[in-house]
Amino acid sequence: MTKPLRTRAWDAITSLKLTIACLSFLMVLVVLCTLAQVELGTFGAVNKYIKSFLVWWDVPGTLWMIPVLPGGALVGLVLAVNLVAAQGRRLELSWKKSGLWIIHAGLILLIAGEFVSSVFQVESQMAIEEGQTLNYIEGRDLELAVMDVTDPAFDEVYSIPDSRLARGGTIAVPGTPVSFQVKAYYRNAELAPRGPQDPPSPADRGVGASVAVRPMPPVSRDDQVNQTAAFVEAVAGGRSYGTWLASNVLGAPQSFVHEGRTYVLALRPRRQYLPYAVTLKKFSHDVYAGTDIPKNFSSLVHLSNPSRGERRDVLIYMNQPLRYDGKAFYQASFGKNDTLSILQVVENPGWLLPYISCVLVTLGLLVHFTITMRRSARRRQGAQEA
Amino acid sequence: MNVAKTASWIAGGLALAGTLAALAPPGKVRGFDVDGFARLPVLEGGRVKPIDSVARNTLLMIRSQQSFRHEGRTIGAEEWLLDVLFRPEVANAQPVFVINDPEVLGLIGLRQTSDRYFSFRTLAPHLGEIERQSQAAHPIDAKERTRFQSAIVNLFERVYLYYRLENTLQLAGSPGLAAELRDPRAEGAQERHRALSELSYFRPLPPPAGQAGDAWRSVGEALRAGTAGNVDPALDPLARLSRAYASRDPAGFNAAVADLGAVYASRRPEAVKQADHETVFNRAQPFYAGMVIYVLALLALFASWLWKPQILQPAAFGLLVAGALVHTGGLVSRVILQGRPPVTNLYSSAVFVGWVAVILGVVLERLYRRGFGTAVAAASGFASLIVAHHLTGDGDTMEMMRAVLDSNFWLATHVVTITIGYSGTFLAGAIAIGYTFRRQFAPRLDPATSKALVSMAYGVICFALLFSFVGTVLGGIWADQSWGRFWGWDPKENGALLIVLWNAIILHARWGGYAREKGIMAMAIFGNVITSLSWFGVNMLGVGLHSYGFMDKAFWALFGFIASQLLLMALCLLPRQFWRPASSRAGEEATGTV
């Protein structure tokens, strides 16, 4: 007699074979992800193998993509379901099994934590020079910032994400009469002064007219940055204000005036403004005497939050981040002859989960192995007495 | 006391006595108190160490050995360094540069012969070319260099190191330190002093008692800062020492060493003590001694399977315990000398992995008493110390910790637990290899021993899973503290995760009954592959935040190791004594002797 389909599915979901299959797939994915980091960089490899539901293979020479493996997210999900289901079905609630219960609860929490991080974790940077005060952090992605600088007391900043630029078409900037028509977008490009044999630039205004833009493949290494370039035509009130070149490697501000209001254009790392300000008072970089082995990096910053009436100095150094207002500021890098400090800023609502899970699993493993060891010791003793 | 106990005490005692004999102070070399000189502390690589360590590490970097034979006698590292410092014309004729690359040899007009060692004098006419080629290769990323490029950069670095050593206490070819002191305003003195302070490889002059512990000065700095009435008190004895050594005057040399020692003792007594300890540690070579004792233990055990097991097996265990004691002594000395937890770099992780495996093996032997604990412990201890020995070529194994690693708390928790996890996985693999050999080659099998081996391996895998999991998660927490990412899928993290996953798979396969005796053992051997990849393999990828452990030389060694483990897995899974005709095996299996 064959079992009904529901029973068979339930058997499959709760089976130990599925657990082993998931763990094996996870091993394969982890190996592939590690090897791929040489080519794709950490972010690329993790996105391809771990933070995906399916791993796609581009068939060479065609536009086809074939899923070849389940991705880390799918495996993680199946493993979590398997864990919960098997736990409910097979393991009786007894002291003998208490260790396994704790271990598996901890593991579920660990997988959940990884999901929470991959969805909600935001990593940004704050590159701050000595004496400088900043009230924003910058992300990895870019934005086309349109700033209305007419009022000398404050700027109004409108932001268009570069993923929107990549899609092309016409983009209206809400709250302003301005809209942009994307003429071209290059995720990575080489910018050079335009020579006599270069084709004419699509840009007819600003610095872009004298720059030649050559498309390049996007960079993969984590320490490299894409030089993104976009040609956009600014339109306001039915009138064209010319085509501009925007790029994160262009330094000079470019602006146009429409009905008495001045708009500045800049393609820059996406900014998130903070309700508080950070001033870098001093960056220190010590080395061991007679060597160039770094001994310590530290940033002495002043934190000022008028809305909470908070003003205090904080020393951020290796293994000692500043956790404030849901964000954590870490000493990440430095530059400009030790006057520039780069802080990594991470916001992860699930940061506490792995800590709890670690304690649970460790405790569970200890309990379980103690129970099994005592049992086997008793058995051995019994065998000797017999 | 019965025979077995006596045998184990005698064997262990002899091994320990042999090790202690190495601690006896060496005699004078041709009347010179080389030992007294070698014990003097200096600052190099950011920490205070005896000249003895500087000599050993630099000779190791240049020649890959700590002593060599030249003109019919053995020259120790300290004596070699004395020649480099004070008699460059003698040192320049000694063949200390090892060159293996045929293209590099071709470049300097030499043929590959059995002799791979060359003197500075032989290289001297080609220095310009070596420097030019090295400069050309230098901008290329270390991973992308060709073999020739790596070799020439490496040769240039060694030549430059040698050159700096020669010009540390006085400029080679100049009248010497005494002349500099006599007439600080002589012609060209300023340039010479500046060159001295730029080139000096180590800083020999201790700061006065009140100053910071790392404010040691080079001779050049002291000469430049010195005014008429304010000469560094160590310079005068140093100058006498130099002159006495160059003019072969042992009495003068020994007196100068004593005076110099007095200056150090009055200024930095704690540095003198530290340097003394380190010199003793260097001389005892506990890890080398341990390696030898482990081999003896293994040999005794192998012999015991053929002859007088009731004496030789306890003797092997006694040797193992002696080896473990020496190993522990070395490990503890390193911890005290460095003021750090035991694992700080790849070298010390190898030493520690072996140590944990040996201790676990001793425990297993006490529990099961079949000689297998001794066998796997001695084999693992020996293998890991061999690996450690081959990791010393980069020089100082107690180098200072980079800023991000500078946390004793995390070194003591994450690094130590994860390394214990490596140890456990390797030990389980070693037990499984023992099981495999026994299954294939032992003339007769009793099921009880097989069962004992499987239960040993199971227990060790549980242990390994616990420690590798805790270590991995602690690593995540450290990463969260220092980079803001609990888990970044960094290669080293992934390697640790693989060990955890693999151990979890083994245990689940056993609980589910999918793998039985042979299967579990074959899986345990594969654990060796995973662990070796995680430990060394990911360092070869050269990506990620953990690149401090980068190394490229060991690729083929790792490859060979993995191939051997795969072969052993196959051997484990094949039927018992598969080379014998099936008919003769069948009877045995039927009678249940497998």
Q: State how far residue B461 is from chain A, nearest Cα, in angstroms.
A: 11
Same domain, B418 and B526: yes
* Residue B277 within a domain: no
* Residue B592 within a domain: no
* Whether the Cβ atoms of residue A343 and residue A126 lie closer than 8 Å to each other: yes
User: Residue A229 to residues A180, A225, A265, A367, A377: CA-CA distances in angstroms?
Assistant: 15, 13, 13, 58, 70
3-state secondary structure at position B442 = coil
Number of domains forming the structure of chain B: 3
Distance separating alpha carbons of residues B481 and A322, to the nearest angstrom: 10
Q: Which residue of B has its CA nearest to A328?
A: B484
What tokens appear for A306 in the block?
Answer: 């008028």
Q: State how far residue A278 is from chain B, nearest Cα, in angstroms.
A: 18
The number of helix segments (H) and strand segments (E) in chain B equals 27, 6
* Residue B454 within a domain: yes
The one-letter amino acid code at B230 reads N
What tokens appear for A79 in the block?
Answer: 């493993």
Same domain, B501 and B443: yes
Each residue's pLDDT expressed in tens, for chain A with a length of 386 residues: 567 777 888 888 888 889 999 999 999 999 898 888 877 777 788 888 888 888 888 777 777 888 888 888 899 899 989 888 887 777 667 777 788 888 888 988 888 888 888 888 888 889 898 888 988 898 878 888 888 888 888 888 888 888 888 888 888 888 888 888 888 888 888 888 888 887 878 888 878 788 888 888 877 666 677 888 888 888 888 888 888 888 888 877 788 888 888 888 888 888 888 889 999 998 888 877 777 777 778 899 999 988 888 899 999 887 788 888 888 888 888 887 888 888 888 888 888 888 898 889 889 988 888 888 888 778 777 766 65
Same domain, B501 and B542: yes
Test B473 with A357 for CB contact under 8 angstroms. yes
pLDDT tens readout for residues B426-476: 999 999 998 898 888 877 777 888 888 888 898 899 889 989 998 888 888
* Residue B366 within a domain: yes
How many beta-carbon pairs below 8 A join chains A and B?
Answer: 157
A-contacting residues in B 15-54 (Cβ below 8 Å): 43-47
Q: Which parts of chain B have pLDDT scores under 70?
A: 1, 111-112, 114, 142-144, 227-229, 393-395, 401-406, 539, 541-554, 581-594
* Residue B280 within a domain: no
Same domain, B91 and B40: yes
Same domain, B12 and B31: no
> Shortest CB distance from A358 goes to which of B47, B466, B473?
B473
Same domain, B409 and B343: no
Of B271, B294, B322, which marks where a domain is finished? B271
Same domain, B457 and B519: yes
Q: Supply the pTM of this predicted model.
A: 0.81
pLDDT tens readout for residues B450-462: 888 888 898 899 8
Of B220, B243, B271, which marks where a domain is finished? B271
Test A30 with B477 for CB contact under 8 angstroms. no
Helix then strand then coil, % of chain A, to nearest 5: 35, 40, 25
Q: State how far residue A178 is from chain B, nearest Cα, in angstroms.
A: 39
pLDDT at B394: 67
Mean pLDDT (chain B) is 83
Same domain, B405 and B385: no
User: Residue B175 to residues A308, B179, B214, B243: CA-CA distances in angstroms?
Assistant: 71, 6, 30, 10
pLDDT tens readout for residues B271-292: 888 888 888 888 888 888 899 9
Question: Could you tell me if the ipTM is greater than 0.85?
Answer: no
Of B249, B271, B293, which marks where a domain is finished? B271
| pLDDT above 70 as % of chain B | 91
> Shortest CB distance from B403 goes to which of A46, A114, A318?
A318
pLDDT tens readout for residues B212-251: 777 888 888 888 877 656 778 888 888 888 888 888 888 8
Same domain, B262 and B365: no
Domain that holds residue B354: 1-22+285-392
* Residue B278 within a domain: no
Same domain, B15 and B142: no
* Residue B422 within a domain: yes
Test A362 with B469 for CB contact under 8 angstroms. yes
Task: Note whether B508 contacts A: Cβ–Cβ < 8 A.
Answer: yes
Same domain, B40 and B14: no
User: Residue B159 to residues B64, B110, B128: CA-CA distances in angstroms?
Assistant: 14, 17, 11
Same domain, B43 and B96: yes
Distance separating alpha carbons of residues B495 and B558, to the nearest angstrom: 15
Test A27 with B477 for CB contact under 8 angstroms. no
